[in-house]
Amino acid sequence: MKRITQTTWTGSLNESPLGPMIFTITRGGLTHVQFGILTGLEPSGHTQGGALPVPQSDLLAEIRQQLAAYFSGELQVFDIPVDWGMLSAFQQRALKAAQEIPYGQVKSYARLANDIGQPDATRAVGGAMARNPMPVIIPCHRVVAADGHLTGYSGSGGLATKAWLLRLEGHVVTGERVISG
For the chain, the DSSP string reads -PPP-S--EEEEES--TTS-EEEEEETTEEEEEEESS--S-----BSSSSPPPHHHHHHHHHHHHHHHHHHTT--SS----B--TTS-HHHHHHHHHHHTSPTT--EEHHHHHHHTT-TT-HHHHHHHHHT-SSBTTB-GGGEE-TTSB-----STTHHHHHHHHHHHTT-EEETTEEEE-
From the candidates 33, 140, 165, 178, give the one annotated as an active-site residue.
140
Catalytic: 4? Answer: no
As annotated, the active-site residues are 140
